[in-house]
Amino acid sequence: MKSSTTRRKFVQEVSLAIAGTTLLPQVLSAKDKEQMENNINTSIMEPVPSDNTADILIDKLIAWKVEVIFGLIGDGVNPIIEALRKRQDKIKLITVRHEEAAAFMACGYAKYTGKLGACIATTGPGAVHLMNGIYDAAMENVPVIAITGITYHDLIGTQYTQEVDTVSLMKDAAVFNTVITGPRHAQTVVDLACRAALTTPGVAHLTVSVDVQQKPLSDDKASVKASNLTGISTYQPRIETPADQELDAAAALLNNGSKIMILAGRGALNARAEVEKVAELLGAPVAKALLGKALLPDDSPYTTGGTGRLGTLPSEQMMHECDMLLILGSNMPWIEYYPKPGQSKAVQIDREPQRIGLRYPVDIGLTGDVKATLTALLPKLKKHNDQSFLKLAQQRMASWQKMLERMEQSRATPIRPPYLVAQVQRLLADDAMISIDTGAHTVFTARHLKILPKQQIAVSGNLASMAPGLPYAIAAKIAFPLRQSVAMVGDGGLTMLMGELATAVLYNLAVKVVVFKNNILSMDGFEQDELGNQRYGINLQPIDFAKIAQACGAEGYHCSKPDELPSVLRTAFASNRPAVIEVDVDPAESPAKPDEVKG
């Protein structure tokens, strides 16, 4: 412990609820959960008079069990960086090459762990760079705290160098967003920010003038009203369940359905057992939104796999044939893949009341945590004796899988993306963390990767941004160093943030980056075709990613021959260093809609 912390007095025993409980997929092992429980905070520290705003801010983050903060330094946050330096035994600063990556990493870290992700950037350009990753977290209700600097407190509004109003910048995305006015204020407001990020969940943003960051507590005179106010570093996750009569009404409706379909998303990730029980009881197949892919393994008899634009044909067919839809924690955006209006009754369970009825006109909307609500609902559901709808789904899935397997076995040259996904799949550990970027390769990976019960995926689902694949993979490896971390990325997306290969090397993170190299922005090419437009602006000047990787100090591999792919991947995956495997894939392979996939 550093001298400044030894001086601190432990004043209060408090408990910190496990961060983001409701976000946690069940794939976390007992060991992971134990590790998280060990992270329960048991004490908060009372600042001493010489502590400045930055010290208090970082001590508070430590009290909230933030162990890692992703960011990039700058003179707008130097005092905060100094506070981090002094506490590096408790909180680690991971220095990135681009702040956008820092925000994606904070978001990815939170997605994989359920804990609070954290990022830091200097004022002006640094803060501006964060924004894409901030929106990624905001649009998926991922708990992230973002720290930025602002100019000197008496130069605000004077068009001073790098002056950006970072509160305005974050306004649209943040659930908590304020200026820390001094060390006293930091004592309350950091707690409020962390609690807001974890309970909403979403992005909390705190910004501090660079000179205020250095102001000691002894120099900060309390206002009359706030003299005794200090915060408390605790929170309880919001686990709501609907009222009993609402559950009765939902059960009555569901018990009346004959062809019942379930659509499940990210909000159901922690409710695998409950979803399986409902599916079994109601004879209802489960279509998984992309963000809910890890909810059920792809070989589960209850699932028709993905749904929507990158889903399966059986999901689409069953959705279009059901007479009862149960939506669980999903906001799946592709309206045309829901039942036709009027075709089906619907019950929706979502922790956010604003999401009820957003994509489909439901008959009953229940506001509540999916796991807790299903637990309360299950005893009210009657066993559905007719299982023919589920059986039909299973038959359709069997022939769909056969067709996909034909594609996955094709050893055509150039390499077909389904073959690449299948070859990667063979090397994935049972508890691998798979980060997917945005593009045609997202469709191939979502469709052909058969997820296992303990595996996790992270993808920019709602923002659908290019470039998070590598940052997510880095964050995953930092969160769980012993687990395999694989990024499936396009050549366009990787180019955007490939500087982070140097970050992986710096921290010796053995991430495996699989590049679908087709030398085009393929997804958009196909979208242009669909519109009947001529292709324009899609070509990428080819880059030798293997050499780029090597130049960064990572391992770089290239493969263009189907027969060589298994051994190239095996070598790259066996290494304990970061590795990029660029694979020349067929740019003509269409990320087809479910009903257009041809084996």
Ligand X SMILES: Cc1ncc(C[n+]2csc(CCOP(=O)(O)OP(=O)(O)O)c2C)c(N)n1
Nearer to ligand X, 284 or 514 (CB): 514
Instruction: Give the x/- contact pattern for ligand X in 492-521, rule: CB under 6 A.
Output: xx----------------------x-x-xx
User: What letter represents residue 336's amino acid?
Assistant: E
* Residue 523 in the binding site for ligand X (CB under 6 A): yes
Name the residue nearer to ligand X (CB basis): 485 or 522.
522
Helix (H) or strand (E) holding 100: helix 99-113
Q: How far apart are CA 594 and CA 278, in angstroms?
A: 26
Query: Taking CB under 5 A as the criterion, which residues in 515-554 touch Mg ion?
Result: 518, 522
Q: How many CB atoms lie within 10 A of CB 215?
A: 21
The only residue of 160, 524, 560, 592 in contact with ligand X, by rule CB under 6 A: 524
The answer to whether residues 371 and 350 touch, using CB atoms and an 8 Å cutoff, is no
Point out the residue whose Cβ comes nearest to Mg ion.
490
Site for ligand X in 449-488 (CB under 6 A): 464-466
CB of 587 to ligand X, least distance (A): 7
| 101 touches ligand X by CB under 6 A | no
CB atoms within 10 A of CB 402: 10
Query: How many residues belong to the site for Mg ion (CB under 5 A)?
Result: 5
Give burial (CB, 10 Å; 0-12/13-18/19+) of 543.
middle
Scanning residues 463 to 492, which ones bind Mg ion (CB under 5 A)?
490-492
Q: Are 154 and 196 in contact (CB under 8 A)?
A: no
CA–CA gap between residue 459 and residue 112 (Å, rounded) = 11
Instruction: Give me the numbers of helices (H) and strands (E) for the chain, helices first please.
Output: 22, 20
Task: Select 76 or 492, whichever has its Cβ closest to ligand X.
Answer: 492
Alpha carbon distance 281, 380 (integer Å): 11
Buried b (16+ CB within 10 A) or exposed e, 249-281: bbbebbbebebbbbbbbbbbbbbbebbbbbbeb
Shortest Å distance, C-beta 135 to ligand X:
10
- Please count the residues of the chain: 599
464 binds, among Mg ion, ligand X, none (CB under 5 to 8 A by kind): ligand X
| H helices present in 219-271, as ranges | 244-256
Tell me if 57 sits within 8 A of 80, measured CB to CB. Answer: yes
Considering beta carbons, is residue 309 or 441 the nearer one to Mg ion? Answer: 441
| Minimum distance from residue 103 beta carbon to ligand X (Å) | 13
What is the nearest approach in angstroms of ligand X to the Cβ of residue 136?
10
Q: Output 349-355 pairs: Cβ under 8 A, ≥24 positions apart.
A: 349/267, 349/373, 349/374, 350/267, 351/22, 351/238, 351/240, 351/267, 352/141, 355/331
Min dist. Cβ of residue 552 to ligand X (A) = 19
CA–CA separation, 556 and 545 (whole Å): 7
Q: Are 464 and 310 in contact (CB under 8 A)?
A: no
Min dist. Cβ of residue 321 to ligand X (A):
31
Residues 490-509, interacting with Mg ion (CB under 5 A) = 490-492
509 binds, among Mg ion, ligand X, none (CB under 5 to 8 A by kind): none
Query: Nearer Cβ to ligand X, position 110 or 520?
Result: 520
Q: Please, which residues have CB within 8 angstroms of residue 548's CB and are 6 or more apart in sequence?
A: 498, 501, 556, 580
Give yes or no for residue 344 binding Mg ion (CB under 5 A).
no
Shortest CB 394 distance to Mg ion, Å: 35
25 vs 418, beta carbon nearer ligand X: 418
Q: How far apart are CA 132 and CA 463, in angstroms?
A: 9
Site for ligand X in 403-442 (CB under 6 A): 437-441
**Smallest distance from Mg ion to CB 545, Å:** 11
Instruction: Pick the stretch among 8-16, 283-291, 455-463, 512-520 that binds Mg ion (CB under 5 A).
Output: 512-520
524: partner contacted, choices ligand X, Mg ion, none (Cβ within 5-8 A by kind): ligand X
Binding residue count for ligand X, defined by CB under 6 A: 19
DSSP string, 13-74: E---PPTTGGG--TTS-HHHHHHHHHT---EEEEPPTT-BHHHHHHHHHHHTT--EEEE---
Chain residue whose CB lies nearest ligand X: 490
Residue from 259, 283, 375 nearest 328 by CA? 375
Subset of residues 18 to 77 that bind ligand X, contact rule: CB under 6 A: none
Pick 166 or 518: Cβ nearer Mg ion: 518
151 binds, among ligand X, Mg ion, none (CB under 5 to 8 A by kind): none
**Nearest Cα residue to 197 out of 269, 106, 91, 88:** 106
Q: Which CB atom, from 393 or from 488, has the smaller least distance to ligand X?
A: 488
Helix (H, G, I), strand (E, B) or coil at 178: strand
Q: Does 445 bind ligand X (CB under 6 A)?
A: no
CB of 63 to Mg ion, least distance (A): 44
Interatomic CA distance for residues 253 and 233, integer angstroms:
43
Residue 52 binds which entry of Mg ion, ligand X, none, CB below 5-8 Å type-dependent:
none
253-292 residues in contact with ligand X (CB under 6 A) are none
The least CB distance from residue 323 to Mg ion, in Å, is 41
| Binding flag, residue 491, ligand X (CB under 6 A) | yes
Residue with tokens 């559950």: 247
Is residue 365 near Mg ion by the rule CB under 5 A?
no
Residues that bind ligand X in the complex, under the rule CB under 6 A: 437-441, 464-466, 490-493, 516, 518, 520-524
Residues that bind Mg ion in the complex, under the rule CB under 5 A: 490-492, 518, 522
